[in-house]
Amino acid sequence: MAITDEAIEKIKGMIVSGELRPGDRLPKEADLAAWLGLSRNSLREAVRALSMVRILDVRQGDGTYVTSLEPKALLDGLSFIADLRHDATILEFFEVRRILEPAATAIAAHRIDPGTLDALRVHLGEVTDESSVEDLADNDLEFHRRIAEAAGNSVLYSLVDTLCGPTIRARIWRGLAQEGALRRTLDEHHAILDALAGRQADLARALAVVHIAGVEQWLRRAL
C-alpha cells in the first residue's frame, strides 16, 4: 500500500470509529502525523485527497475539519464529473436515472404528504405552453427533485439530485428540436403527480420510466 493510501485509510478509520465526527476539527498537523505514525508530507497528501472528495474541509488560517458527511456533499464530486462528460456518455447518466428515479417515485407515492402534493401542483402551474424551454427545464428539474425528496431517503435523493442536473442540457436540446416536446413533458408531469396523489406506486413508477426513457431514446437517436 502506498504511503499516501495508508494515511488516507488511517484518517478514514478515525472517522469510521467515531474518533472524528462530522464537524470535528482535526488535531494540528504535527500532532496528528506523530499520532498516526506518518510523515507530515504523507499526511498533507492524504488531507488534500480527502478534501477533494468532500470528506475533509481545509479552511485557510483556521484548520481542517471533517465535513457534515451528508450524502449530498459527498456526491458533489459525481456532479462535477458529469459536467465534464460529453456526447454519448450522458446516456449513461440517463440509464442510471431510469433505474433509480422510478424507484424513488414509487416510494414517494407511499410517503408524500398532502402539503407537498399541493405545492407540486402549484409548481407545475407555473409553466404553460407559452413558457420558454429554459423555464420548463428549470421547473422540470425542481419537480423531480421534490419527488425524490418526498421519498424520504437522503441517499436516494442525493443520487437523483446529482444525476438530474447534468442531464438538463439534453432536455433543453430536445425541447428546442422536437415538436410537441414541451406539451408532452407537461402532460407527463401531471400524470405522475396524479398517480402520486392517488397513492398508486406501481403506476407512478411506470410513468416515471416512460418519462425519463422518452428523453433518453430521443437523445440516442440524436447522437
pLDDT over threshold 90, residue 179: no
Rounded CA-CA distance 19/21 in Å is 6
The answer to whether 66 and 15 are in contact (CB under 8 A) is: yes
More confident residue, 158 or 196: 196
Domain range annotation of the chain: 3-69, 74-222
Rounded CA-CA distance 78/8 in Å is 20
Rounded CA-CA distance 43/6 in Å is 9
Share of the chain above pLDDT 70, in %: 83
Share of the chain above pLDDT 90, in %: 34
What's the grid cell of residue 179? 415538436
Per residue in 37-83, pLDDT (tens digit) is 888 888 888 898 888 777 888 998 888 999 887 776 666 655 555 55
Per CATH, the architecture of 74-222 is what?
Up-down Bundle (1.20)
Tell me if the pTM is above 0.85.
no
Measured in whole angstroms, how far is the alpha carbon of residue 210 from the centre of its chain? 20
Question: Residue 123: what pLDDT?
Answer: 96
Question: Residue 190: what pLDDT?
Answer: 96
Fold (CATH) for 3-69: Arc Repressor Mutant, subunit A (1.10.10)
Question: Residue 113: what pLDDT?
Answer: 97
pLDDT over threshold 90, residue 102: yes
Phi, psi of 56 (to 5 degrees): -120, 150
Per residue in 142-160, pLDDT (tens digit) is 999 999 999 999 889 988 8
